[in-house]
């Protein structure tokens, strides 16, 4: 359902510009080359500073070839974000479904979440999308739905399973899922996003996740006496 929502927000891009022939259906390798060049430029200088000349140079194609695939920088940017949706960190984190102890499962999940979301390339991606969202609101919404919302929904499903098993006691698992994610990321993500620090030590991130699990279980865990 989330993927359908995101697809509805972002129309199919890559229409050919007027006066240029549309690339053939089997020309996917060239389009991929263009997308990779765009990723390099957008991630290094941001949307506003990027130019089609820079992108063509990075992609190793002529400007005419570039415009045969995308009729504007905006169209190319949207196409890139469409592709990046599928690689959001939240979509690649497998919750340890075979772990019956919610505290242990959440600790494993939390460490993976923090590790992936705070990676350098994902942080840069988030900065660029956040900056561009003022101009392209649907991009920000699609990015959110494909990543943070997707992750929260999947975590909610696992919390529902723990509640059904009687190992957690939660009235609203949607709220609880968001709370746990926020507890794990905490101030670390803010400091990294705003470049207050360039890196955070693994020990600090592990400690943060451990504290998040302890707080979560204090509120939602079932006492051993029950």
- CATH number of the CATH domain containing 102: 1.10.357.10
Clarify whether residues 168 and 110 are in a common domain. Answer: yes
Q: At residue 19, does pLDDT exceed 60?
A: no
pLDDT confidence of residue 102: 97
The 10s digit of each residue's pLDDT in 161-219 is 999 999 999 999 999 999 999 999 989 999 999 999 999 999 999 999 999 999 999 99
Clarify whether residues 97 and 65 are in a common domain. Answer: no
The 10s digit of each residue's pLDDT in 112-159 is 999 999 999 899 888 888 888 888 888 888 889 989 999 999 999 999
Clarify whether residues 103 and 51 are in a common domain. Answer: no
pTM, to two decimals: 0.78
Residue 208: which domain range? Answer: 89-220
Query: Residue 21 region, left (φ>0) first, then alpha (ψ -120 to 50), else beta?
Result: beta
Clarify whether residues 72 and 124 are in a common domain. Answer: no
The 10s digit of each residue's pLDDT in 88-114 is 889 888 899 899 999 999 999 999 999
Clarify whether residues 200 and 146 are in a common domain. Answer: yes
């Amino acid at each position: 359902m989330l993927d359908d929502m995101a697809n509805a927000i972002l129309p199919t891009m890559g229409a050919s510009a007027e006066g240029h022939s549309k690339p053939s259906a089997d020309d996917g390798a060239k389009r991929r080359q263009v997308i990779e060049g765009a990723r390099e430029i957008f991630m290094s200088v941001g949307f506003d500073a990027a130019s089609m000349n820079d992108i063509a140079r990075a992609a190793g194609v002529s400007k005419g070839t570039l415009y045969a695939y995308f009729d504007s920088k905006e169209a190319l940017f949207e196409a890139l974000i469409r592709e990046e949706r599928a690689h959001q960190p939240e979509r690649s984190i497998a919750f340890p479904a075979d772990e019956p102890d919610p505290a242990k499962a959440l600790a494993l999940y939390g460490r993976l979440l923090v590790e992936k979301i705070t990676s350098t390339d994902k942080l840069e991606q988030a900065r660029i999308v956040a900056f561009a969202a003022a101009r392209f609101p649907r991009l920000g919404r699609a990015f959110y739905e494909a990543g943070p919302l997707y992750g929260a929904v999947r975590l909610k499903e696992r919390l529902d399973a723990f509640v059904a098993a009687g190992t957690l006691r939660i009235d609203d698992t949607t709220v609880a899922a968001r709370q746990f994610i926020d507890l794990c990321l905490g101030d670390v993500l803010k400091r990294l996003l705003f470049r207050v620090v360039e890196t955070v030590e693994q020990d600090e991130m592990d400690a943060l996740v451990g504290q998040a699990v302890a707080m979560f279980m204090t509120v939602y865990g079932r006492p051993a006496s029950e």
